[in-house]
Amino acid sequence: MAYYGDYDSCQGRNERIYESPPNSGYGYHQQPARPPCDPRLNATDGGYGFNDYGGPVSRNKFNATGGYMMSGQQLIPQGQIVRVCSKANPDYALAIREGRAVMVFCNLNDPTMQWVKDESWSNQVRDQVGHPAFALVNKATGQALRHAIAECQEVLLTQYEGPSSYDENVLWSESEDMGYGYRTVRMANNIGLNLDAFQGDRRNGGIRDGTRAVLWKWNKQDNQLWKLSPCY
């Protein structure tokens, strides 16, 4: 079972070295050098057509009875379908717009704000406090939510390869319940960096349509607390 090491802060700018778990066989590597703290530097363009919701056109058919379905290069895993909402404003949910992960006003019929919580690695990979790892795969596009390359940077999207291809950069974990079902969602290999609705705290005016999802160290704000609510 894989466990991960400690983290450093954005201010320190020291390189973080992964601690290789004994007999893991996963071939850990060092993160690339960190760019300045500007979430806009990590935006992805998508590079293909968009649907009515502004997300990449999906060629997938979700298999509600379980298993994986592939069409072209896209793959949708089995798992619970959830909506990812922040305590800062539960009326908004994480979705895909123009190839980026952003907050959007909730629309129950919008498949780009529905994410499959794939727990295929949960028994093999855990964070440093023992919480199981999972991937979040967009139901509409087949893209997985991927770690930003550094703190203060925008999270990325990548085509999901499924459990047959191990990629630590798409694995997340949740903290314990922080109240009313809200938890932090953090990198499984660095629990010091949390999913953050950028400037979505009350001081900065709260969450809006298009608020970007970034990684940030824990600052005890509601825009870093999330609820993965089942979609029925």
Instruction: Confirm whether 22 is domain-assigned.
Output: no
Q: Which of 201, 200, 229 is nearest to 84 (CA)?
A: 229
Which residues, listed in sequence order, are joined to residue 4 by a DSSP beta bridge?
none
Residue 190's pLDDT is 97
Residue 10's pLDDT is 42
Residue 139's pLDDT is 95
| Spatial separation of the C-alpha atoms in residues 78 and 94, rounded to whole Å | 20
Residue 159 near residue 73, CB atoms below 8 Å: yes
Instruction: Confirm whether 110 is domain-assigned.
Output: yes
**Single-letter code of the amino acid located at 177:** D
Residue 73's pLDDT is 52
Instruction: Confirm whether 73 is domain-assigned.
Output: yes
pTM of the model: 0.72
First to last CA, the chain: 33
pLDDT in tens, the chain (232 residues): 544 444 334 433 333 322 333 333 333 333 333 334 444 433 333 332 334 444 433 333 333 333 444 444 567 888 899 999 999 999 999 999 999 999 999 999 999 999 999 999 999 999 999 999 999 999 999 999 999 999 999 999 999 988 778 999 999 999 999 999 999 999 999 999 999 999 999 999 999 999 999 999 999 999 999 999 999 7
Which residues, listed in sequence order, are joined to residue 70 by a DSSP beta bridge?
75
Instruction: Confirm whether 153 is domain-assigned.
Output: yes
| Spatial separation of the C-alpha atoms in residues 22 and 206, rounded to whole Å | 43
Q: Any idea what the CATH number is for the domain that residue 63 is in?
A: 2.80.10.50
Strand order through the sheet with 213-217: 172-174, 185-187, 190-197, 213-217
Instruction: Confirm whether 18 is domain-assigned.
Output: no
Instruction: Confirm whether 25 is domain-assigned.
Output: no
Residue 232's pLDDT is 78
HEC readout, 96-161? EECCEEEEEECCCCCHHHCEEEECCCCCCEECCCCCECEEEEECCCCEEEECCCCCCCECEEEECC
Instruction: Confirm whether 143 is domain-assigned.
Output: yes
Q: How many domains does the chain have?
A: 1
Give tens-digit pLDDT for 100-113: 999 999 999 999 99
Instruction: State phi, psi for 21 to the nearest 5 degrees.
Output: -65, 145
Residue ranges making up the domain that contains 99: 39-230
| Spatial separation of the C-alpha atoms in residues 84 and 93, rounded to whole Å | 5
Residue 62's pLDDT is 31
- Sign for the CA dihedral angle at 113, 116, 121, 127 comes to positive
Residue 1's pLDDT is 54
Instruction: Confirm whether 123 is domain-assigned.
Output: yes
Burial 36-65 (b: 16+ CB within 10 A, else e): eeebeebebebeeebeebbbbebebebeee
